[in-house]
């Protein structure tokens, strides 16, 4: 947030949390930089232009709310080294898996750093929000059409 604000003072940052206990995980003061709120992630996502989100269902929620996002995933070093060779997928975020391509930028493990996050946000900005709105519309339509069967097939391909 600090680095992005230095680039563009008009940026505003919001951090919706599900519980106040998560504030204990933050090691820096947020006052004046990030507005923290609780139990309103959908409201925040629907009012944002771009999100920076950890991998999981929140990325799918963002795409359903038509908010492009950078997806971050970082785990313990040993866990990553053990799991990485077993992964047989090109993308890990739910919107990208549903789109069948890298629609949104993903940063995995050592790629998660300030410079890469800024570059990913710029990548989204360069493509433009209209591009993502169209792609998200396509994802919505695909989810409506035989979604249970499609999900089962996709999961089956990942397990095989």
What is the rounded average pLDDT of the residues 93-104? 91
What is the rounded average pLDDT of the residues 110-124? 95
Which of these ranges, 24-28, 33-37, 107-111, has the smallest mean pLDDT?
24-28
pLDDT band at 14 (very low <50, low <70, confident <90, very high): very high
* pLDDT above 90 as % of the chain: 54
In the predicted structure, residue 37 carries a pLDDT above the cut 90 = yes
What is the rounded average pLDDT of the residues 147-151? 66
In the predicted structure, residue 157 carries a pLDDT above the cut 80 = no
- The pLDDT value recorded for residue 114 is 95
How far apart, in Å, are the Cα atoms of 123 and each of 11, 54, 64, 72, 119? 16, 18, 20, 15, 6
What is the rounded average pLDDT of the residues 119-137? 95
Contacting residues for 117 by C-beta, under 8 A, at least 6 apart = 52, 70, 72, 107
Answer with the residue of higher pLDDT: 40 or 84. 40
* pLDDT above 70 as % of the chain: 88
- The pLDDT value recorded for residue 80 is 64
- pTM (2 decimals)? 0.80
């Amino acid at each position: 947030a600090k680095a992005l604000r230095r680039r563009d003072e008009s940026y505003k940052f919001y951090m919706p949390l599900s519980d106040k206990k998560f504030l204990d995980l933050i090691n820096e003061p947020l006052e004046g930089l990030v507005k923290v709120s609780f139990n309103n992630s959908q409201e925040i996502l629907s009012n944002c232009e771009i999100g920076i989100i950890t991998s999981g269902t929140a990325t799918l929620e963002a795409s359903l709310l038509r908010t492009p996002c950078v997806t971050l995933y970082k785990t313990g070093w040993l866990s990553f080294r053990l799991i990485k060779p077993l992964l047989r997928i090109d993308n890990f975020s739910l919107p990208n898996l549903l789109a069948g391509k890298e629609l949104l930028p993903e940063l995995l493990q050592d790629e998660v750093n300030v410079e890469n996050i800024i570059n990913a946000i710029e990548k989204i900005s360069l493509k433009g929000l209209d591009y993502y709105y169209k792609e998200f519309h396509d994802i919505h339509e695909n989810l409506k059409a035989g979604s249970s069967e499609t999900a089962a097939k996709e999961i089956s391909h990942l397990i095989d």
